[in-house]
Amino acid sequence: MTEPLLRRLRARGERLTVGALPWVAPVYRAMPQVDEVIDFPFAHGGLQLKERRRIGRQLQGRFDTAYVLPNSLKSALLPFLASVPRRVGYLGEARVGLLTHRLKNPKNKPPMVAFYSALSGEGGLEADVPRLSLPAGDIDAILTKHGLARGGYVVMAPGAEYGPAKRWPHFGALAALLDRPVLLLGSGKESDLCEDIRSQAPERCRNLAGHTSLLEAFALIAGAGHVVSNDSGLMHVAAAFGVPQVALYGSSSPLHTPPLNERAQVVWLKQDPDYQPPLDCAPCFQRECPLGHFRCLTDVSAQRIRALV
């Protein structure tokens, strides 16, 4: 979602260094407009002020402008400690004194690409589409390692860090209906989920959750014939590689975080005029279904998705 902003900044001549946590840093290494990626050693949660001060001292004098993408206080703290003269970001979490150029948060949930792109100070960015790229030789080497041919397999990404209300429950049933190899991708935390899916179609599936680097997972997605996923980070990766994909939405909304890919097919019962009774509860943006029925996902059948893959 941040790639169009970086592409726009590079096009106007800015040299780009991205600071990111190690789990997301490889995403930026797949963006040719990024000159340098710094892995931040911060743990999840907590201010970790001592460590931020140390890194801030190391970075002093290196940068003219910092674009602070997350809306958290701690994200804005490091550019402040590094004495970056111009610090751009959205208002939030008492960050007024930490930012020199502040944008008001929109009242409604805008598309995330437009939300981030607005930090550039330029208009007309709503049509920008995120793009990732890897050298063709790197993709081919990883496919050879796994004994795969380009376009000859399906990738499933059944996880969603946000919670169960974004996880479609019928991936295993879909795998059993397919006539191609299926790769299950995700983090180590999703390995058990993927193993349960694999057990429903053991002759078809390979569980690679937690067994690939992020860049290796990117290559497997880039070479896939189709990707089927929830609204998740890997869904956006597939969109950025322009791979044919099916994106399943439950508690979230494709109006807010769509897969920006002409080859994407979005399935969201909220927009299905034939689905009855209508899902007046969607999108609820909750981690768990507040009504306890998860209809927005459970009522999407494996057969329906099989017809799209």
Q: Per-residue confidence of the chain (309 residues) as pLDDT tens digits? A: 899 999 999 999 999 999 999 888 989 998 999 999 999 998 877 788 999 999 999 999 999 999 999 988 999 999 999 999 999 999 987 788 999 999 998 877 778 888 899 999 986 555 578 899 999 999 999 999 999 999 999 999 999 888 888 999 999 999 999 999 999 999 999 999 999 999 999 999 999 999 999 999 999 999 999 999 999 999 999 999 999 999 999 999 998 889 999 999 999 999 999 999 989 999 999 999 999 999 999 999 999 999 999
Q: Residue 130 falls within a domain, yes or no?
A: no
Q: What is the dihedral of CA 70, 16, 34, 32, to 10 degrees?
A: 130
Q: Residue 43 falls within a domain, yes or no?
A: yes
Tokens 């899902």: give the residue: 279
Same domain, 167 and 46: no
55: alpha, beta or left? (left if phi > 0; alpha if psi -120 to 50): alpha
29: domain CATH number is: 3.40.50.2000
Q: What are phi and psi of 175, to 5 degrees?
A: -60, -40
Q: Are 269 and 236 in contact (CB under 8 A)?
A: no
Q: In sequence order, which ranges of 126-168 are alpha helices (DSSP H)?
A: 136-145
| Distance in angstroms (rounded) separating the CA atoms of residues 304 and 210 | 29
Q: Residue 128 falls within a domain, yes or no?
A: no
**Cβ atoms within 10 Å of 143's Cβ, excluding its own:** 19
**Structural domain boundaries, residue 80:** 3-120
Same domain, 103 and 151: no
Q: Which residues, in sequence order, are CB contacts of 131 under 8 Å at separation 6+?
A: 3, 7, 240, 242
